[in-house]
Amino acid sequence: MTSLVPIDQEVSAIRRRVAQWREAGLRIALVPTMGYLHQGHLSLIHHALTLAQRVIVSIYVNPTQFGPNEDLDRYPRDPEGDRDKVSRAGAHLIFQPSSDTMYPQGAQTFVETTAISVPLCGGDRPGHFRGVTTVVAKLFHIVKPDVAVFGQKDYQQLLTIQRMVTDLHMEVEVVGAPLVREDDGLALSSRNVYLSPTQRKEALRLSQALRRIREAFHTGERDPHNLLATGRAVLASPALQLEYLEIRNKHTLQLVDQKVSAEDRIFLAARLGATRLIDNAPLGLPASLDNLHQEMH
């Protein structure tokens, strides 16, 4: 039986522990999550373990990154299961703060990026990235990790956090880890649990659309409008409301309107009933080279 990792809830407690690790010369990684952990999260932990000697997983459902009509109240939670998974994955500590800790009474300080968080999810979820950068800045100040690992599943979030770290001269290296998918292609997400069996089947259209676009790119199509039309055809279904399907530069997120290149990435968000799913993929690599499934260690 694996012994369970300790959980710190208070800032003073985690600071004491991290200070001891630092005095012992250990490199520290942070993996921020909202819990209800799956293989995608665990792959971040495995990656973090290759970058540092101590890995801290934070679990906090951050209210400021949810809009008023979003799923904050029903966001899935499984604290015991999460602790078990984090322990088995080999991480060293869970940081699970309360909202009173993360947002002290009367809190009025926010961190906000501009251009990078305007398109894509920024349009559909006003205030979302402001909530993300604010909470991640707080976590970085509390934990002071040497390195933090984020998933490319939330690619715009990754770029937004890298921008914040650069702009504020934060002393942390931000690393992006590959998107983990189910065997059939669906991107793993805590929100997949909301899907009915029918919606789960329909959700496959997302990764299939990305795949079809990449195939067209690899057979020589360079016109973004033709590529996107190919994707939209796959996504056409009464069960699915497309929020966006776009090709953007993978560094700046600038829209590609003329001729696409291997520097570009496809971004997609869609709703199945009340559930909003996102996915993305590089144009440059053939889909056949994707790491579609990562084993649990």
**Could you list the active site residues?**
41
Residue number, 151 or 224, with CB nearest to ligand AMP: 151
Residue number, 96 or 190, with CB nearest to ligand AMP: 190
Do 66 and 52 contact (CB within 8 A), yes or no?
no
Q: Which amino acid is at 287?
A: A
- Residue 100's alpha-carbon distances to 106, 149, 155, 209, 261, in angstroms, are 10, 25, 29, 42, 47
At CA 82, angle to CA 121 and CA 60, rounded to 5? 45
Residue number, 36 or 217, with CB nearest to ligand AMP: 36
Residue number, 23 or 80, with CB nearest to ligand AMP: 80
Shortest distance in whole angstroms from residue 173 CB to ligand AMP = 15
Residue number, 121 or 256, with CB nearest to ligand AMP: 121
Give the Cα separation of 68 and 107 in Å (integer).
19
- H helices of the chain, in order, are 11-23, 39-51, 79-89, 99-102, 121-124, 128-143, 155-167, 197-202, 204-218, 224-235
Question: Which residues neighbour 178 within 8 Å (Cβ) at sequence distance 6 or greater?
Answer: 43, 151, 152, 291, 294
Shortest distance in whole angstroms from residue 188 CB to ligand AMP = 4
**Which of 188, 30, 165, 9 has the alpha carbon at shortest distance from 96?**
9
List residues bridging with 33 in a β-sheet: 59
Packing angle of the helix pair 128-143, 11-23 (nearest 10 deg)? 50
Residue number, 22 or 38, with CB nearest to ligand AMP: 38
Q: Is 220 helix (H, G, I), strand (E, B) or coil?
A: coil
Give the Cα separation of 36 and 41 in Å (integer).
9
Question: Which residues neighbour 166 within 8 Å (Cβ) at sequence distance 6 or greater?
Answer: none
Residues lying near ligand AMP in the complex (CB under 6 A) are found at 33-34, 40-41, 43-44, 150-151, 153-154, 179-180, 187-190
Shortest distance in whole angstroms from residue 44 CB to ligand AMP = 5
Shortest distance in whole angstroms from residue 161 CB to ligand AMP = 9
- Residue 222's alpha-carbon distances to 110, 217, 225, 230, 267, in angstroms, are 41, 6, 9, 12, 16
- The residue of the chain with the least Cβ separation from ligand AMP equals 151
Shortest distance in whole angstroms from residue 19 CB to ligand AMP = 26
Shortest distance in whole angstroms from residue 20 CB to ligand AMP = 26
